[in-house]
Structure 1
Amino acid sequence: MKVRELYREQERLARKAVFYDAFGKLKYVAGIDCSYYEDLIIGGAVVIDLNTLEPIEKAHVLLKLDFPYIPGLLAYREANAMISAFKKLDTVVDVLMIDGFGTNHPRRCGIATQIGVRLEMPSIGVGKSFLCGDIGDDGYVYQGAERTGKLIYSPRSKKPIYVSPGHRISLETSVELVKKCMKSGRIPEPTRLAHEYVTGVKNTLR
């Protein structure tokens, strides 16, 4: 597919996303991330118990890398590996926390939105660098008049992370849940552990 066609597909997916809390009691959160090794992409998922923030299950996949890096289209490079890893889990997960962005995206469809809509699951994007929009004095990210994300600072880091809802969860609940999952350092436990996991898998391949 051409880039313009992928942009239009993102716009269609964005229209399917909803940003209210469409779930019951939360118990298990899966952090999802990926890494690269030569011509492979490593997708990894780590499930944590929300009460203890301890990992209870993990799974990964190795897939052939078949899509180039194009800004704004990262999901087409990484989402399949992330979804494939998630589908290997046995735990019934309540929310996905994904390394990347949700509705805070030029076409309101970052990787957390694409994965959330494709799986029809609540999803949150946790970005480590600023993507787009304007940052207000209140710490929210605005795209036009719409709040699409919020900056969160850990007490142990001067650098913020950028939280945005992906699908089936509100911005405020996304922020609350990410804060609840912070244990040490800058990154919430689900995505921090997922990053460590895929990095460890990559190191075994060297």
Structure 2
Amino acid sequence: MQQVHPELAPRPGLSRTEMETLQRRVAETAVFDDDLSFAPERVSLGDPENTTLVGDAAPPLVAGIDQSFLDGRALSAVVVLRGGEVVERVHAVSDLDLPYIPGLLSFREGGPILDALAELETDPDLFVFDGSGRIHFRQAGLATHIGVVCDVPSIGVAKSLLCGTPDEDVDGRPEGWRTPIRADDSVDAVGGHPATPETTIGYAFQSRQYDSRPIINPLYVSPGHRVSAETAVDLVSRLSGDYKLPEPTRLADAYADEAKAQYE
């Protein structure tokens, strides 16, 4: 698929100051309101052949994106779903130019992800990332950065909280529970995007809870681009199956491990 804003793509060789400046440009371009080509209620894990269509619209194509790692390389995997059906899987293996640095993940993993997206024959309507979107020090996490570069609605789903403050304690909550994550002093105001204690930058979402297991921690869902925080968490709920992770990223994670085996 094509990059709409290649000038904003993460690239190697930048200083930390240059990377942070680019992130602010990404955040200024990002849209944290709903600008979708599909009705959110069209998103589900049901059989697309047995789902009532809105007008003539087919269920949207949802791409889950995740990675596995080889020596000094990333294997980026993309799994595209329509309803509960996998319609495409692609991957790419790319060199890594940076170590992991909190807040700069898109400069380590974003280029490799763009390499994999370039292999797609389909044009997804929604990206779901293993990583943060607006829940980020400069409101430009991985989901925001790549969503803006491709100008595709995107959502970040992280397993830990990078920044921000939940409205309520997150421990031991029942399945389906959610609470807003508000901007705190570690979050910069960027462009037209405020960062006050009233600003909702995402949600803690309890996707699953199991009687037979220890308490499961929530996911941290945030808008990446062209999705509001409220719609982002609603969509992740609609994409949640029998596991903690939403099905698109769970399948991308499994495919990344499957594909990795051929390179070892």
Q: Report the TM-score range of the alignment, normalised by the length of the smaller protein.
A: over 0.9
Equivalent position of 2:37 in the other structure: 24
Deviation per residue, 1:94-153 (Å, 9 max, x gap): 000011000110110000000011001100000011111111027111003210010111
* Residue 24 (structure 1) shift: 2.1
Equivalent position of 1:7 in the other structure: 20
* Residue 68 (structure 1) shift: 2.1
Q: Does 1:121 align with 2:152?
A: yes
2:201 to 144, 148, 168: 148
Equivalent position of 1:33 in the other structure: 66
Provide the rounded CA distance (Å) in 2 between the counterparts of 1:139 and 1:61. 36
Equivalent position of 1:92 in the other structure: 123
Equivalent position of 1:77 in the other structure: 108
**Equivalent position amino acid for 2:101 in 1:** I
Provide the rounded CA distance (Å) in 1 between the counterparts of 2:117 and 2:64. 9
* 8 Å Cα contact 2:94-2:115 kept in structure 1: no
CA RMSD of aligned residues (A): 1.3
* Residue 85 (structure 1) shift: 1.0
For the residue of structure 2 that corresponds to 1:139, the secondary structure is strand
Deviation per residue, 1:43-101 (Å, 9 max, x gap): 11000113xx2322100001111222211100001011112212211122100001100
Bigger mean CA offset, 152-161 vs 104-113: 152-161
Equivalent position of 2:93 in the other structure: 62
- Highest CA radius of gyration, 1 or 2? 2
* 8 Å Cα contact 1:43-1:61 kept in structure 2: yes
Provide the rounded CA distance (Å) in 2 between the counterparts of 1:70 and 1:180. 32
**TM-score w.r.t. length of structure 2:** 0.74
Equivalent position of 1:205 in the other structure: 263
Which stretches in structure 2 are left out of the alignment for 5+ residues? Answer: 1-13, 39-58, 169-177, 184-196, 211-215
Which stretches in structure 1 are left out of the alignment for 5+ residues? Answer: none
**TM-score w.r.t. length of structure 1:** 0.94
Structure 1 runs, 4 residues or longer, greater than 3 Å off: none
* 8 Å Cα contact 1:156-1:185 kept in structure 2: no
* 8 Å Cα contact 1:32-1:86 kept in structure 2: no
Provide the rounded CA distance (Å) in 1 between the counterparts of 2:155 and 2:72. 28
